[in-house]
Structure 1
Amino acid sequence: MFKIMFSNWDALLSGLGYTLLASVIALIASLIIGTAFALMEISLHKWVRVIGKAYVEFIRNIPLLVIAMAFYVIVPQFIMQMDGFTAGTIGLTIYTSAFIAETVRAGIQSVPNGQMEGARSNGLSYMQAMTHVVFPQAIKLVIPPLGNQFINLVKNSSVLAFVAGFDLMYQGKLIANATFNTFDTYLAVGVLYLVITMPMSYAMRYLEKRWHTA
């Protein structure tokens, strides 16, 4: 394994960089989109709730690879050109956002109704009460499941390998094909994924303990 890593370090490091970049972009974007659809799912307006639920259920029941391939194959044919990295990152973002939406929605609905009612009785609008009272409490509750979604996002970024996204898995596939040493190559790739996910896991545990004791 170490021989593979050192002899192909530049390629692996390049792949690691693309994996990190795709993960950070997808993490931020999916958190924003997912939170927006979570709020739509619990909206006071029925048609907004219908749109939010339809998006979440539709995306959650489609394989990630299908979504990524749609942006890689179909979108360039009919809408606009995009490279594999962009297509894979967009697919990863959309897929993850549906799961984050469900996580955030569950967190919001787990906050006692009295919090919203108390805020409204003090003169706050629905959005003000949601933003300043309910949502901060919900975020503390969903830190553990959100952490799991973020870690899954990093692992799911390997989908970029199927759309020529130059990520870590893609570089590993090229190295394995060139060296005929599949076992050591993918073992090295697995170790590099651990380098990313393990610190995230510990960071989420730290945030969970800190916020629960605050």
Structure 2
Amino acid sequence: MTLLAHAYSAENINFLFQGLWVTIKVSLISIILSFIFGLIFGIIRYVQFPYLSKIVGFIIDIIRNLPLLLIFFFTYFGVPELGLRVNPVSASIMALVIFESMMLAEIVRSGILAVDPGQMEGARANGLTYWQAMQHIILPQALTKMIPPLVSQFISLIKDTSLATIIVLPDLLYHAQIIYSQNTTYMLPMYLMIAIMYFVVCYLLSLVARYLEKRLA
């Protein structure tokens, strides 16, 4: 109990919450941007624009098959070589958005494909243009079908932020490492605490998803 009391001191817990805030901030920004880009790329790949859809599809296939850790290294060490200055937070967001938007693009495309083709035919027969039908008829139905895989991917994104520790992102895991580097007996208590924190954040997201799924059903 003495070990846990010292490991979970108010100072250490507060320091962990500072790291948790960075994790949540990076995750939230990455989720929003990834969804926007993933939606755009998914629609482009579905619609089959001449040349453009094939190029986007080729890029998606490449990035989806690269290790996320490699993308972290590229954004942190490679992007500055192109003349752009980045810090660990911006490099982490950039890496997560690049990787996750490609994953989400495939989820979007699959969600649109899951909508009955008759929906588009019916919308066009009622005088809607292709893009009006896509906006008002197809995408709302597709988004409902996409909720479970989208949430699963968002949860993976939150957990993937821990990989950014390698580029010194001051996130939850990095703060825990700082604490137990000062006293190695704190290692297990720190890992237990960050496991609880990750679980709470991810579980709350899954509860929100279940609520939305029921509301939109």
Q: TM-score, normalised by structure 2?
A: 0.93
1:197 aligns with 2:202: yes
Query: For the residues of structure 2 that align with 1:100 and 1:55, how far apart are their CA atoms?
Result: 13
Q: Which residue is equivalent to 1:33? A: 37
- Deviation for aligned residue 1:47: 1.0
Q: Which one-letter code corresponds to 1:79 in the other structure?
A: G
Q: Which residue is equivalent to 1:207? A: 212
Query: For the residues of structure 2 that align with 1:121 and 1:4, how far apart are their CA atoms?
Result: 67
Query: For the residues of structure 1 that align with 2:179 and 2:130, how far apart are their CA atoms?
Result: 55
Of 190, 206, 213, the residue aligned with 1:185 is 190
Which one is further off, 91-100 or 119-128? 119-128
- Whether the 8 Å contact between 1:16 and 1:167 is mirrored in structure 2 is yes
- Whether the 8 Å contact between 1:23 and 1:153 is mirrored in structure 2 is yes
Local SS of the residue matching 1:131: helix
Structure 1 unpaired stretches of 5+: none
Q: Which one-letter code corresponds to 1:186 in the other structure?
A: Y
Local SS of the residue matching 1:42: helix
- Deviation for aligned residue 1:82: 0.6
Q: Which residue is equivalent to 2:101? A: 97
Query: For the residues of structure 1 that align with 2:5 and 2:49, how far apart are their CA atoms?
Result: 58
Q: Which residue is equivalent to 2:20? A: 16
Q: Which residue is equivalent to 2:51? A: 47
Structure 2 unpaired stretches of 5+: none
Q: Which one-letter code corresponds to 1:185 in the other structure?
A: M
Q: TM-score, normalised by structure 1?
A: 0.94
- Deviation for aligned residue 1:44: 3.8
Query: For the residues of structure 2 that align with 1:170 and 1:55, how far apart are their CA atoms?
Result: 32
User: 1:17 and 1:113, CA in 2 relative to 1: closer, same or farther beyond 3 A?
Assistant: same
- Deviation for aligned residue 1:2: 5.7
Between the two proteins, what is the percent identity of the paired residues?
36
Q: What's the RMSD between the two structures over aligned residues?
A: 1.3
